[in-house]
Structures are given as C-alpha cells and as structure tokens.
A and B are shown apart, each in its own frame.
Chain A
Amino acid sequence: MKLSAQDNVAVALRALRAGDTVTFDGTACIVDRDIAVGHKLAARAIAQGETIIKYNCPIGVATQPIPAGAFVHVHNVASSYLPTYTLPK
C-alpha cells in the first residue's frame, strides 16, 4: 500500500515473493525480490538522486536508478542527515 498519494514508495502489508505482480495507479510491475512485511518497494521508476517520499515526507535520496517494483532499502537509498549503520552480512 502507498501511505500517501504523493509517495514514490509503497509498504508491503504482507510478505511478497520475487516475481509477484503488484499494481500501482493502474500500472502492473513485477517484484524484483522477496520483500518482508513493512519493507518498501518502488511504486514507480525512481531516478538516481531523486528524493524518496513516504508518508508524503522525504525519507532519503536514491543512490542509483530504481525500477518500479524494486526493493527500496539501504542498498539504494541514503539518509540526508546521518548515515545508516548496519552489521556486515
């Protein structure tokens, strides 16, 4: 679901599998990988450098082009404030 009409990312209300089809504003797109509950996917194609909008608010900037339906997370988004720290996998 999109939390706000202006958002360019949507939130998974249930776990999604790679290859699932989701529809945003009448346009179908294919989910690029498994996405857990609460995680985000692109609701439309997002350009590198574009602001990520969720709750109709900026939550960071795309560090690479993100196709519609792709998983949106720390690998392709950076904070405009302080870097995000994650443990090495």
Chain B
Amino acid sequence: MLQGYLRADGRKGIRNILVVAYLVECAHHVAREIAAPFRDRGVHLIGFPGCYPNAYALAMMEKLCTHPNVGGALLVSLGCEGFNKRQLTKTIEASGRPVQTLGIQDAGGTRKTIAVGCEWIERTLPALAAHTPVAMRADELVVGTICGGSDATSGLTANPAMGIAFDMLVADGAAAIFEETGELIGMEHLMAARASSAALGDELKRTVAKAAEYYATLGYASFAPGNADGGLTTIEEKSLGAYAKSGQSPIAGIIKPGIAPPRKGLYLLDVVPDGEVRFGFPNINDNAEIAELIACGSHLILFSTGRGSVVGSAIAPVIKVCANPETWQRMQDDMDVDAGRILDGGATLPEVGREIYDLVARVACGEPTKSEALGHQEFILTYKSFEPLGPACLPAA
C-alpha cells in the first residue's frame, strides 16, 4: 500500500514540497537565496525567467504550484514584470495551500526580501510537517516517462523494460504518460494502431506530423551529437528506441502540458507548440519535458539513459534507468536501475521491468531516488503557445 499527502482537490502527493518560485529572472537570485538554507528540508526552487506574459507559462506555474507533491508556495516577484502574479496567488489560495507573494521592490530590496522570505518559510514548514500521510491506492498514481542522453542501448534495454513497468502500472489502474512527439517521428502508424478510437488514431498521426514539420522548420531533429556517438544514426532509429518506453497498452488519449489524464490508462503528451513556429525549439532540454510531465500531475518520472544523464527535478522524484553496462560502471552513483545487464544475459527484460515497477512503489512511499539524494532539483520553463485539445484527443472511456 502506498502513502500520500491528501490535498483539498482529492489528489494525493508522494512528497510534501514547499516551492519557492521566481516570477521573472530578475527575482531569481533572491528566490534562490531564500530557498538555499532549506535545501535539505524539502524546499525546491522553480520559476519563469521571462518578463513578457505567456498563457502557457502561467498555466504551467498554476499546475506546478498546486501539484499534489506541493504543500505550499512562496512567490518572489521583482514588481514590474508581466507575469500575472495575482492570478497565480489566487489559484494557490483556492487550492487550500499556504502561499505568500513577495515583491522585491516593495519589500525594500534584496536583503530585506530574503529575510522576510526565510522567516515565512520557517513559519510555514512546521504546518507542512504536521500533515500526516494517508493510504494511497496504485490507481491514484500518475507516472511520466522520458529518455535522455540516449544511445543505441536505450532502445534495447532500459526503454522496453520501462515499457513493461508502464504496462504493469496501467494494469493497476494508474495513469501513465509518455511524450516527446519529436522523437516519435516514424512511429505514427504503429502508434495510431494502438489508439482506443479511429479518430484518436488520426489525431496521433497529426500530432507527429506537426512535430516533424516544426523540427524541419528549425532545421534540426530532436537528436544530439551524443546520440550519434552512442550508435544512433537517424531520428527514426532513435524514435524506435524511444517509442518502446510506452509499452504495449492501448493509447487512451492525447494531452497537452498542464492537462492531467482524466482517468487511468496510457496517454501521449503532445509537447510541440501549436500554430506557426514561435519561441524556438519545443523543449530546449530534458528538464523542460520533465516539468511538463509534472504539470500534467506526474508524481514521479521514469528516466532512461544510455550515455548517462545525471538530472533530477524539482517537485517530483526522478528514477534513473541506466541502459548501457559501460555507463553503469562509470556512473552508478547516479543510477537507480541497471538495465544494461540485459545485454550480457544478466537479467531478462521482464525481470528489470518488475524491478522498476517495485522501485516505483518504494519511491512513492518516500524512498529517495539517487538524483533526489544527490540534491538534483533541475527546473526550466520557457515560452510556448498551445491551442485547446481537439475533441477526438480524449475519447470517452
């Protein structure tokens, strides 16, 4: 049986984090200084760097600050930026969480704002600590998956093993989210065949076509030089490996950043913006996607890596599944699961899938992942624009 922190909206969190959020880069240093002394006491730093307003960024911050793993929020504003801090504050208040908004200009500058912020956190942490966990069912869990620093072993070991764990979680009634439509290029027909309705199948194909067009305009595929060093030759080869993360379950729907899966099952997160190409690359690095998976309600993230990524995340624990036996030898302090032993016959895919599934339950009960224990709390949020979901994206169950 899992344990969770019950929130006013009925969702349960597997962590009880207090977030400090800067609302423009100009407030980043002050927010970081406020959070720093509380680093090991469950206080995480998130934020948005831009000064211009953006509906996507506001929605992302609303979802992140009211995420089930979050117990309270301190917002740090410079005072003149375009971010709609009033709406964000109201949304957090309405969720029943403690929230405080500080304006650096009003508070009298850097030193005074840091002092006020630290004092508020000292006062607020005991209230969070008083929140006792309750029993949580497996079907209340939302799990996201991503691959990063992929090489040719990712698609042979870690990704299919995570796919098996995903199938087990979906069978338990959990919601599972896979993503990066730019890394599903070439997979659209296979994916459409798994859709729960024909109209959803068409939407899945359209989503991948949008990604291919977007990346073609930008001139690069979602493919880093390290992917080629690791033996991947083309984006479609990388996609085949990445696609294995999704397992074999039927695809229940498409969601966009900030939209929680409406019910159990497997969902594709469409991370590529709608409309003409604006604001640059859809996701400038892995953490941009992780933040979006979390904004969709993911309690924890399964992250497969062949080359060896070290990142974690603010708000949600990241489980690192290492695909490559040589990388495991070099970097095992950063890795939670050794999937590379599948290559030399040291374990089977179903055995590693089971291992990941069991670790998900332990992490959900509070066991820290390697990246969590090392203090990794990466976070990034940039500009994007989305249109609402099409009617075929979420077929009725």
Docked complex Cα distance between A81 and B225 (Å)? 17
User: Which A residues between 60 and 78 are near B, CB-CB below 8 angstroms?
Assistant: 60, 72-74, 77-78
For residue A36, give the distance in angstroms from its CB to the closest CB of chain B.
Answer: 6
Q: Which of A36, A40, A81, A83 contacts B236 (CB 8 A)?
A: A81
Docked complex Cα distance between A87 and B220 (Å)? 13
Q: Are B233 and A82 in contact (CB under 8 A)?
A: no
Q: Are A38 and B212 in contact (CB under 8 A)?
A: no
For residue B323, give the distance in angstroms from its CB to the closest CB of chain A.
Answer: 9
For residue A30, give the distance in angstroms from its CB to the closest CB of chain B.
Answer: 20
Main secondary structure on B side of the interface with A: loop
For residue B315, give the distance in angstroms from its CB to the closest CB of chain A.
Answer: 32
Q: Give B215-251 as 1s and 0s: 1 = Cβ < 8 Å from A's Cβ atoms.
A: 1100011010100111101111100100000000000
Cβ-based interface call for A27 (8 A)? no
Q: Report if A38-B215 is in contact (Cβ < 8 Å); known contacts: A58-B236, A83-B221.
A: no
Count, chain B residues at interface, CB 8 A = 30
What residue in chain A is nearest B185 (Cβ atoms)?
A81
User: In this complex, which of B155, B186, B237 has the most chain A Cβ atoms within 10 angstroms of its Cβ?
Assistant: B237
Docked complex Cα distance between A80 and B234 (Å)? 8
Q: Give A4-31 as 1s and 0s: 1 = Cβ < 8 Å from B's Cβ atoms.
A: 0000000101100000000000000000
Q: Are B233 and A77 in contact (CB under 8 A)?
A: yes
Q: Are B231 and A84 in contact (CB under 8 A)?
A: no
Which residues of A line the B interface, CB within 8 A? 3, 11, 13-14, 36-40, 52, 54-55, 57-60, 72-74, 77-87
Which residues of B line the A interface, CB within 8 A? 151-153, 155-156, 185-186, 212, 215-216, 220-221, 223, 225, 228-231, 233-237, 240, 306, 324-326, 343-344
